[in-house]
Chain A
Amino acid sequence: MKRAARLVVFYAGLLGLWTLLAELKIWPPYLFPTPWGVGEALYAGFQDHSFLIAIAVSMRRVLIGYAISVVLGMVLGLGVASSKFLEETMGGLLVSLQSLPSICWWPLALLWFGLNQNAILFVVIMGSLLSVTLAMEDGRKQMPKIYGMAGRNLGATGFQLFWHVLLPASLPFIVSGLKQGWAFAWRSLITAEMLYLSLGLGQVLMMGRDLNDMSAVIAVMILIIAIGYVVDGVVFKSMERHLQHKWGLTPST
């Protein structure tokens, strides 16, 4: 209750400050919109379905891209973790590649895939693949060795061993990496969509700029934050909680 009260006070204050600054009219309203202007833009966006379409398109892209990088990243990470050669060679490359913002792949993606969805997907994958790979590699190393041995002892081999033992055993260690991968995928997607106009939230954002409609721009920004927050707070939090409960990492109720 106390925490809720503090949150209400904080956000009410923030809104108040925003309203005050907007009402003082230091900047023209088309540059600094009021909260209710943004509210109207949100309402209008949902009313004419343009936001819903944008969300659906963006979510579809990010889910496909993220799914591909999770699968690829797990295979790569497992490979790097279990082979000394790969670890020495590719391990360093992966870490250094992580300092490259994924949007830097955009020019290459354009040339390779042309101006289409696949170029966006490529940027999304490049954005999240490395975090997932590094998380998987790390998780595989942190995972107690006994699980792998117990699995082999009980007759699990090859893919069985990976699917029934190594993957579930490393999940608690890679869930934060999966979360980070999701955050990178989402950011890469929005960036790519802003550069290439084909529906999606990024495009709606740029349209707001083109129309000088700052209310719409801020409305879309809020949407982007909200979706990121919901996925993080609902999907990953419940996954973490589920794992902790199963593994007994927190006292279960």
Chain B
Amino acid sequence: MSTNTHNFPTPIPIPVDSRLPAPGVRGKSILAAALRPNRGVSSEVPKVALADVCLSYRDQSGQRLLALDHINLQVKPGEFLCIVGPSGCGKSTLLHLIAGLHQQTSGQILVDGKPIQGPGTDRILIFQELGLFPWLTVGQNVEFGMKMKGIGKAEREEKTRYYLRLVHLAQFKNSYTHQLSGGMRQRVALARALATEPDVLLMDEPFAALDAQTRDLLHDELERIWSETGRTIIFVTHNVREAIRLGDRVALLTFCPGRVKREFPVDLPRPRVLEDVHVAHAAREILDELREEINRSLEVEYNLGVKPRVPVGV
């Protein structure tokens, strides 16, 4: 894992036309609301707040095991929070809890100060495996959430067109997802999530499976879309440099059970570059903290071949 962050990807010049300006539809009425940045709006109330969130589960022998241990996190409206941690620390599970797809064992998850009730389109999760629907075209995938909300056809089509243009996939509206490359699929998932116009975007290691060049490009695009739409983003990754590249703040999770070990504010000016020496320097600080956790996780994996189990109450 750590070798990954040492491997400097060869920077390739990004073609100018791949950074098309945002489509000029911002003035249109239905899109205006969608694009108004949420940043700064009622900043006293955190957009997302986790208060003493614990998750335990029963293994086959019926023993209760602890996966997440008293997680406390607060995310400001419009903030870009990155969560890093070794694999198996419960990062993805945490996102599933915020998305309302699973229920925490104890503690509270608040959005705008109110406890969440199951899944809601105010929080959209982009899964690690994306979960694009292969029976639908790219366009139908993007409009899926709007269709579920009962939004009319004309508005759906206009927004679908807009969000596909936002991720530079307008000409692939009628393709099926298996016809696209990994990076394009990633962007479809992003467009699909944005099209439901969530306040909070939850991203689960979205760029882990991509080659370095595509990832760099998507970092740029994500940052641009984030600053244009003003969404709150909670971004999970195991790549510390990626977290520094994107986040306003980085939270480090411990390994088994997951606890928030430390939070690091990132004050570097944007846009940042993955290979930048300041990014590398900031990453070094986090990596030193992370190393201990990674070693612990690797040790356990090599020695036991299984994840360690922490019984509840230990």
Chain A contacts to B: CB under 8 angstroms: 146-147, 149-150, 152-156, 160, 164-165, 168-169, 171, 243, 246-248, 252
The interface on chain B, measured as residues whose beta carbon lies within 8 A of the other chain's beta carbons, has a size of 27
CB distance from A146 to the nearest CB of B (A): 4
CB distance from B172 to the nearest CB of A (A): 14
Provide the residues of chain A in CB contact with B120, threshold 8 Å: 155
Chain B contacts to A: CB under 8 angstroms: 96, 99, 101, 119-121, 124-125, 127, 129, 131-136, 144-145, 147-149, 176-179, 192, 196
Supposing A150-B127, A248-B176, A248-B179 touch, asked if A155 and B135 sit within 8 A by C-beta, the answer is no
CB distance from A139 to the nearest CB of B (A): 13
Supposing A150-B133, A164-B144 touch, asked if A248 and B178 sit within 8 A by C-beta, the answer is yes
Assess whether A160 is in contact with B134, with CB atoms less than 8 Å apart. no
Assess whether B119 is in contact with A169, with CB atoms less than 8 Å apart. no
Provide the residues of chain B in CB contact with A169, threshold 8 Å: 133, 135
Assess whether B133 is in contact with A155, with CB atoms less than 8 Å apart. no
Among A154, A169, A171, A252, the one with the most B-chain Cβ atoms within 10 Å of its Cβ is A154
Provide the residues of chain A in CB contact with B101, threshold 8 Å: 149, 152-153
Docked complex Cα distance between A37 and B86 (Å): 79
CB distance from B252 to the nearest CB of A (A): 26
Provide the residues of chain A in CB contact with B178, threshold 8 Å: 247-248
Provide the residues of chain B in CB contact with A154, threshold 8 Å: 121, 124, 144-145, 148, 192, 196
- 8 A-B pairs with C-beta separation under 8 A: A149-B96, A149-B131, A154-B145, A155-B148, A164-B144, A164-B147, A248-B179, A252-B179
Docked complex Cα distance between A252 and B179 (Å): 9
Provide the residues of chain B in CB contact with A247, threshold 8 Å: 134-135, 176, 178
CB distance from B193 to the nearest CB of A (A): 8
Assess whether B119 is in contact with A152, with CB atoms less than 8 Å apart. yes
Assess whether B119 is in contact with A147, with CB atoms less than 8 Å apart. no
Provide the residues of chain B in CB contact with A168, threshold 8 Å: 133, 135-136
CB distance from A1 to the nearest CB of B (A): 31
CB distance from A249 to the nearest CB of B (A): 8
Closest-by-CB residue of A relative to B180 is A248
Pairs A-B, 6 closest by C-beta atoms = A248-B178, A150-B131, A154-B145, A146-B131, A155-B148, A155-B121
Docked complex Cα distance between A149 and B126 (Å): 11
Provide the residues of chain A in CB contact with B131, threshold 8 Å: 146-147, 149-150, 153
CB distance from A221 to the nearest CB of B (A): 39
Q: A146-B127, A246-B135, A248-B177 are in contact. List 19 more A-B contacts (CB 8 A).
A: A146-B129, A149-B101, A152-B101, A153-B119, A153-B127, A153-B131, A154-B124, A154-B192, A155-B149, A156-B144, A156-B148, A160-B148, A164-B148, A168-B133, A168-B135, A247-B176, A247-B178, A248-B134, A248-B179
Docked complex Cα distance between A154 and B96 (Å): 13
CB distance from A169 to the nearest CB of B (A): 7
Closest-by-CB residue of A relative to B131 is A150
CB distance from A87 to the nearest CB of B (A): 18
Provide the residues of chain B in CB contact with A171, threshold 8 Å: 135
Supposing A154-B192, A160-B148 touch, asked if A147 and B133 sit within 8 A by C-beta, the answer is yes
Docked complex Cα distance between A252 and B177 (Å): 13
Closest-by-CB residue of A relative to B135 is A168
Closest-by-CB residue of A relative to B178 is A248
CB distance from B203 to the nearest CB of A (A): 12
Provide the residues of chain A in CB contact with B147, threshold 8 Å: 164
Select which of B125, B129, B134, B135 is within 8 A of A153 by beta carbon: B125
Closest-by-CB residue of B relative to A171 is B135
CB distance from B195 to the nearest CB of A (A): 9
Assess whether A155 is in contact with B176, with CB atoms less than 8 Å apart. no
Closest-by-CB residue of A relative to B124 is A153
Select which of A155, A160, A243 is within 8 A of B119 by beta carbon: A155
Closest-by-CB residue of B relative to A160 is B148
Provide the residues of chain A in CB contact with B145, threshold 8 Å: 154-155
Closest-by-CB residue of A relative to B202 is A153
Docked complex Cα distance between A247 and B132 (Å): 11
Docked complex Cα distance between A164 and B143 (Å): 12
Docked complex Cα distance between A55 and B148 (Å): 42
Docked complex Cα distance between A122 and B177 (Å): 42
Docked complex Cα distance between A146 and B133 (Å): 10
Docked complex Cα distance between A168 and B141 (Å): 13
CB distance from A236 to the nearest CB of B (A): 17
Provide the residues of chain A in CB contact with B177, threshold 8 Å: 248
Provide the residues of chain B in CB contact with A155, threshold 8 Å: 119-121, 145, 148-149, 196
Among B125, B148, B192, the one with the most A-chain Cβ atoms within 10 Å of its Cβ is B148
Docked complex Cα distance between A85 and B133 (Å): 30
Provide the residues of chain A in CB contact with B176, threshold 8 Å: 246-248
CB distance from A189 to the nearest CB of B (A): 31
CB distance from A174 to the nearest CB of B (A): 13
Docked complex Cα distance between A247 and B147 (Å): 21
CB distance from B57 to the nearest CB of A (A): 16
Assess whether A165 is in contact with B133, with CB atoms less than 8 Å apart. yes
Docked complex Cα distance between A150 and B120 (Å): 12
Closest-by-CB residue of A relative to B145 is A154
Docked complex Cα distance between A39 and B288 (Å): 86
